[in-house]
């Protein structure tokens, strides 16, 4: 047994024990364990191209506390760590970091090295070089994250890591997609889709966000054949050239006579019909709207349901097409050709003013506009061919089955379930998974080319599962040769990659090695726990439930814990743009990992929590107290060696019985993922233990004979239990104090559920400890109020209390005398606690 330190300190514990845990394989998963012995966690793969901030620490530490509890309960914890490195965030980071951009038309350069400093203009490089840079940079980013996780003491098994772009993930992702395709759960379709003109890719419903934008209502004249006019209001006058109809509510008396007639558009004089539709709202604008292809998603609904023609003028790069559209034989096209949407709007407004078709000044408004969550310009709607996975948006049976899955899943906290339900109920399109990007898992499909070089989309060439993962840009389908690529009569590969969620939705399958390692899979899947943030219930959680339902007909996990938001010290949400992001490393250096973990664990499940340095200080103080209290108890000698059988004194039995209650409550709280409650109960008991119980029995414990042995034994048992009860929360300090007197890591010890304490102190009366502590408190109070030292001798203390409480006090009388330095103690029966203390005169 190592010597007790003269002056215990937290310094150096993180380094010392991180290294020991790594060397000893403390958190290594035992893959011979059977499924019911395993506790498997579907850890969120952090986006490594994102920045490190306290939000990264908060939820992961809470999960780690739960993981450590399960491990001590005897479960084999399957706790892998993934890195989410595929997709647009990585592309963008690589572009900025190296000053490059991907241009698929540039040939591969095997000796390419990025410039030391990013240049002013982005350097165009080949797709393959670009992807290589993505891999290079994410590898660096992943190291930084791993270092952070080790610093805060995550008990992850570092042999079980994966990346969402690695070969195993790609294989799982493509295999799942091909099976979705074979079962009809995935399909391709040519349709209007929301489109980011900067990234030039389609985006999915789950990736949208509304942003308030300033705009203006423009009152514009449409012309009736009889010379009359109809005024419509629009925020997008530049789309007049793509107008295909006007629409009003069927019951709107103002426009009813016009249904079935036609009007001519301003500037261009195109004849369009006036039609009724229930979605037109009489009190919006002028009550009659123009339908364009496409200004917003309502246009798409109208276009589809009213079977209108498509008159697209905005191209995928966000600019008007250059050639004059054939449906605009007249009108000022040359002024608009090739301009951006913004430029075109300005010009059209000028032209409308000149022609007298603009009524009044434009009226400024602020309204919500759909953006890609990572994008900078409003989304446009373009028609393109995309891949979809069914999600229940247009399939009531699937939808209700998914709602049922949400009910079967145990949510912590439970109210988070409604976010899932609202999302499922509000889905309006299937899940668009294809992206016109570069760094992602390719859609593993090829197509034959017709004699004219046209792509035969209806005859997709599907690779064999054994050949996965494949990259269609280099993969040659059986029966073809590379020379036939992109040649008439030959073949071509699907150029798209999958959305990052299309892969992330398979993290249980990836982590558990679905199909790659059926033995491991059987021992770990379906998993036990999915911890994650609330903002990705609609994406990650939902899509994971969906994929598992399709592939396995089961939930991916039985439980999910949803953490709260991190707010900055002023209770504002942290975000890069506000510049109030708090980075974890300096805080870890200043307060220590246990203190930061304590702060994180004080944030309840699903509860938004502000960064609070005061709470971290409290955590640090707790860890130090744990060192000092342990040192004291162990310094009495015999604590470890005295057997439980020696606990005989009523006060000693009482403390063990009281702690048993705490242990039982902590256990049931943690069983329900309520780590905060467990920590709270253990912590408050611990301080009472130090301040009252230890003070009461200290004198006796120094002595000899059975009463002294009883105190030392009780102190030892209580200490062992307390150390273990704290282990999930402050793993470094608890491991340190455990090592002073025990063999093996504390994190592999049996969880103290109260059984051992009941056995040792079952006859104890917890109330006894409380009564004695109250009396000691009164004596201290008398001394403090007299401004005397607590060492002051008491000539006589007279305590009045109820008979029951006096009986309890008598059982602890000698401890109370010694702790209070009472020469004489008089006990009188009365109504309640009263005390009269006569202090020894000052010297």
Partner RNA sequence: GGGCGCUUAGCUCAGAUGGUCAGAGCACCUGCCUUACAAGCAGGCGGUCGGGGGUUCGAGUCCCUCAGCGCCCACCA
The answer to whether 295 contacts RNA (rule: CB under 7 A) is yes
Nearest to 370 by CA among 204, 492, 483, 228: 204
Tokens read off for 693? 């119980």
The string of DSSP codes covering 140-165 is HHHHHHHHHHHHTT----TTSEEETT
Residue among 15, 346, 571, 748 that touches RNA (CB under 7 A):
571
Does residue 839 touch RNA according to CB under 7 A?
A: no
Round the CA-based radius of gyration of the chain to a whole number and report it.
35
Instruction: State the alpha helices, DSSP H only, in 672-765.
Output: 675-688, 695-702, 706-726, 731-739, 755-761
Does 106 engage in binding with RNA (CB under 7 A)? no
**Tokens standing for 592?**
């220590």
3-state secondary structure of 532: strand
d(CA 682, CA 665): 9
How near is the Cβ of 125 to RNA at its closest, in Å? 35
Where on the phi/psi map is residue 754: left (φ > 0), alpha (ψ -120 to 50), or beta? left
For residues 108 and 124, the answer to whether their CB atoms sit within 8 Å is no
Give 326 or 785: the residue with its C-beta nearer to RNA.
785
Choose between 342 and 781: whose C-beta lies nearer to RNA: 781
256 backbone dihedrals φ, ψ, rounded to 5°: -50, -45
Q: Does residue number 694 form part of the binding site for RNA (CB under 7 A)?
A: yes
Closest CA to 654 of 704, 710, 604, 723: 710
Q: Smallest gap, in angstroms, from Cβ of residue 112 to RNA? A: 39
Closer to RNA by CB, 463 or 619: give it.
619
> Is residue 526 reached through a cis peptide bond, with omega within 30 degrees of 0 on the bond before it?
yes
Interface region with RNA, contact rule CB under 7 A, candidates 126-134, 290-298, 740-748, 762-770: 290-298
- What is the spatial distance between Cα 78 and Cα 37, in angstroms, rounded to a whole number? 10
Q: Which of residues 703-722 bind RNA (CB under 7 A)?
A: none
For residues 65 to 104, the per-residue mask of contacts with RNA, x marking binding by CB under 7 A and - elsewhere, is ----------------------------------------
Q: Least distance from C-beta 649 to RNA, angstroms? A: 18
Show contacts with RNA in window 151-210 (CB under 7 A).
205-206, 208-210
460-489 binders of RNA (CB under 7 A): none
Could you list the beta-strand ranges (E) of 224-303.
Answer: 229-234, 243-248, 262-264, 271-276, 288-292
The single residue among 350, 519, 535, 824 that binds RNA, judged by CB under 7 A, is 535
Query: Cα(608)–Cα(598) distance, rounded to whole angstroms?
Result: 15
Sign of CA dihedral 531, 534, 540, 545: positive
Strands 410-412 and 557-562: parallel
Q: Which of 71, 547, 602, 747 binds RNA (CB under 7 A)?
A: 602
Give kind and range of the element (H or E) at residue 564: none
Q: Which is nearer to RNA, 335 or 691 (CB)?
A: 691
Which of 24, 804 has the CB closer to RNA?
A: 804
- Partners of 630 in the beta sheet? none
Interface with RNA (CB under 7 A), residue from 154, 156, 197, 215: 215
- Least distance to RNA, CB of residue 301, Å: 7
Report 756-795 residues binding RNA (CB under 7 A). Answer: 777, 780-781, 783-785, 787-791
695 is a contact residue toward RNA (CB under 7 A)? yes
Binding residues with RNA: total (CB under 7 A): 87
Nearest approach, Cβ of 396 to RNA (angstroms)? 17
Q: Which of 5, 53, 58 is nearest to 616 (CA)?
A: 58
589 is a site residue for RNA (CB under 7 A): no
Shortest distance in whole angstroms from residue 230 CB to RNA: 11
Q: Is residue 582 part of the contact set for RNA (CB under 7 A)?
A: no
Per CB under 7 A, which region of 15-23, 260-268, 308-316, 417-425 contacts RNA? 417-425
Alpha carbon 122 to its chain's center: 33
Which of 482, 543, 473, 530 is closest to 205 using CA atoms? Answer: 543
- Binding RNA (rule: CB under 7 A), the pick from 395, 691, 818, 838 is 691
Name the minimum Å distance from CB 69 to RNA.
Answer: 18
Which positions ≥6 away from 132 have C-beta within 8 Å? 112
| Strand ranges inside 166-297, DSSP E | 186-196, 201-202, 208-223, 229-234, 243-248, 262-264, 271-276, 288-292
User: Which 2-21 positions form the footprint of RNA (CB under 7 A)?
Assistant: 9
Q: What's the min distance (Å) between Cβ of 91 and RNA?
A: 23
Q: What are phi and psi of 799, to 5 degrees?
A: -110, 125
Q: Which of 146, 229, 608, 813 binds RNA (CB under 7 A)?
A: 608
Among 132, 146, 471, 680, binds RNA (CB under 7 A): 680
Stretch that binds RNA, among 277-285, 470-478, 484-492, 576-584 (CB under 7 A): 277-285
From the list 104-112, 164-172, 393-401, 599-607, the region that binds RNA by CB under 7 A is 599-607
Which of the ranges 52-60, 185-193, 605-613, 738-746 carries the binding residues for RNA, by CB under 7 A? 605-613
Instruction: Return the residues of window 296-315 that contact RNA according to CB under 7 A.
Output: 296-298
Shortest distance in whole angstroms from residue 372 CB to RNA: 11
Strand pairing class (38-40; 76-78)? parallel
Which of 35, 628, 637, 643 binds RNA (CB under 7 A)? It is 628
**SS3 at position 811:** helix
* Tokens 């499924």, residue located: 35
Contact between 841 and RNA by CB under 7 A: the answer reads no
Residues in 223-252 that interact with RNA by CB under 7 A = 232-236, 247-248
Would you say 290 or 656 has its CB closer to RNA?
A: 290
Q: Among the candidate windows 84-92, 263-271, 625-633, 715-723, which touches RNA by CB under 7 A?
A: 625-633
Dihedral over Cα of 409, 413, 416, 417: its sign:
positive
Say whether residue 651 binds RNA (CB under 7 A): no
The yes or no reply on residue 342 touching RNA (CB under 7 A) is: no
Give least dist CB 534 to RNA, A: 6
Please check whether residue 352 is in contact with residue 218, taking contact to mean a CB–CB distance below 8 angstroms. Answer: yes
324 binds RNA (CB under 7 A): no
Per DSSP, helices labelled H in 535-610 are 542-552, 584-591, 593-602
């Amino acid at each position: 047994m190592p010597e007790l330190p003269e002056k215990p300190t937290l310094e150096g514990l993180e380094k010392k024990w991180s290294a020991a845990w790594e060397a000893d394989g403390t958190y290594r998963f035992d893959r011979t364990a059977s499924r019911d012995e395993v506790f498997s966690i579907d850890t969120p793969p952090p986006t490594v191209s994102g920045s490190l901030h306290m939000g990264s620490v908060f939820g992961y530490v809470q999960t780690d506390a739960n993981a450590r509890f399960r491990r001590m309960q005897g479960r084999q914890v399957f706790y892998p760590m993934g890195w989410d490195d595929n997709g647009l965030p990585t592309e963008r980071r690589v572009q900025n970091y190296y000053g490059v951009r991907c241009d698929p038309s540039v040939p591969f350069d095997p000796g390419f090295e990025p410039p030391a400093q990013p240049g002013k203009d982005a350097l165009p490089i080949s797709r393959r070089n670009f992807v290589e840079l993505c891999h290079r940079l994410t590898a660096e980013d992943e190291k930084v994250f791993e270092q952070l996780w080790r610093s805060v003491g995550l008990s992850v098994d570092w042999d079980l890591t994966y990346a969402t772009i690695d070969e195993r993930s790609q294989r799982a992702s493509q295999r799942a997609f091909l099976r979705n395709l074979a079962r009809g759960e995935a399909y391709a379709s040519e349709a209007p889709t929301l489109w980011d003109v900067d990234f030039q890719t389609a985006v999915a419903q789950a990736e949208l966000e509304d942003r308030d934008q300033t705009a203006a209502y423009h009152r514009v004249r449409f012309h009736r054949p009889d010379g009359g006019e109809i005024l419509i209001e629009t925020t997008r006058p530049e789309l007049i050239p793509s107008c295909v109809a006007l629409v009003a509510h069927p019951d709107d008396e103002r426009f009813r006579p016009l249904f079935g007639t036609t009007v001519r558009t301003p500037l261009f004089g195109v004849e369009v019909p006036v039609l009724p539709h229930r979605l037109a709202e009489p009190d919006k604008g002028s009550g009659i709207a123009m339908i364009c292809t496409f200004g917003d998603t309502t246009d798409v609904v109208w276009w589809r349901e009213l079977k209108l023609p498509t008159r697209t003028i905005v191209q995928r790069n966000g600019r008007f097409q250059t050639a004059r559209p054939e449906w605009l034989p007249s009108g000022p096209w040359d002024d608009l050709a090739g301009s951006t949407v913004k430029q075109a709007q300005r010009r059209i407004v000028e032209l409308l003013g000149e022609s007298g078709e603009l009524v009044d000044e434009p009226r400024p408004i602020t309204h919500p506009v759909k953006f890609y969550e990572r994008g900078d310009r409003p989304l446009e709607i373009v028609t393109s061919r995309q891949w979809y996975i069914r999600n229940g948006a247009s399939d009531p049976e699937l939808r209700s089955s998914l709602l049922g899955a949400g009910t079967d899943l145990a949510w912590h906290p439970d109210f988070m379930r409604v976010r899932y339900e609202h999302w499922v109920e509000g889905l309006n399109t299937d899940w668009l998974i294809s992206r016109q990007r570069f760094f992602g898992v390719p859609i593993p499909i090829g197509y034959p080319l017709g004699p004219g070089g046209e792509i035969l989309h209806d005859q997709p060439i599907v690779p064999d599962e054994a050949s996965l993962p494949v990259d269609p840009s280099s993969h040659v389908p059986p029966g073809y040769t590379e020379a036939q690529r992109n040649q008439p009569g030959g073949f071509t590969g699907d150029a798209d990659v999958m959305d990052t969620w299309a892969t992330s939705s398979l993290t249980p399958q990836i982590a558990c090695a679905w199909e790659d390692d059926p033995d491991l899979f059987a021992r770990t899947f379906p998993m036990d726990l999915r911890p994650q943030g609330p903002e990705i219930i609609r994406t990650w959680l939902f899509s994971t439930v969906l994929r598992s339902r399709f592939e396995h007909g089961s939930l991916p996990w039985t439980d999910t814990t949803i953490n709260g938001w991190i707010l900055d010290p002023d209770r504002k949400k942290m975000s890069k743009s506000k510049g109030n992001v708090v980075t974890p490393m300096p805080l870890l250096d200043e307060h220590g990992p246990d203190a930061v973990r304590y702060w994180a664990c004080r944030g309840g499940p699903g509860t938004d929590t502000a960064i609070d340095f005061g709470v971290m200080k409290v955590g640090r103080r707790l860890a130090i107290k744990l060192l000092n209290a342990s040192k004291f108890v162990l310094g009495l000698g015999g604590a470890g060696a005295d057997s439980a059988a020696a606990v005989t004194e009523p006060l000693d039995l009482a403390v063990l019985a009281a702690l048993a209650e705490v242990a039982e409550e902590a256990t049931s709280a943690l069983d329900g993922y309520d780590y905060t409650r467990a920590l709270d109960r253990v912590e408050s008991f611990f301080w009472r233990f130090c301040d009252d119980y230890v003070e009461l029995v200290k004198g006796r414990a120094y002595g000899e004979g059975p009463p002294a042995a009883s105190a030392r034994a009780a102190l030892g048992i209580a200490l062992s239990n307390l150390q273990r009860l704290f282990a999930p929360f402050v793993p470094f300090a608890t491991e340190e104090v455990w090592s002073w007197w025990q063999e093996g890591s504390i994190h592999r010890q049996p969880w103290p559920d109260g059984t051992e304490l009941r056995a040792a102190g079952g006859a104890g009366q917890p109330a006894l400890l409380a009564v004695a502590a109250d009396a000691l408190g009164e004596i201290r109070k008398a001394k403090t109020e007299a401004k005397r030292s607590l060492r002051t001798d008491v000539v006589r203390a007279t305590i009045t209390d109820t008979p029951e409480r006096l009986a309890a006090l008598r059982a602890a009388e000698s401890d109370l005398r010694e702790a209070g330095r009472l020469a004489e103690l008089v006990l009188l029966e009365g109504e309640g606690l009263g005390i009269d203390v006569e202090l020894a005169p000052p010297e």
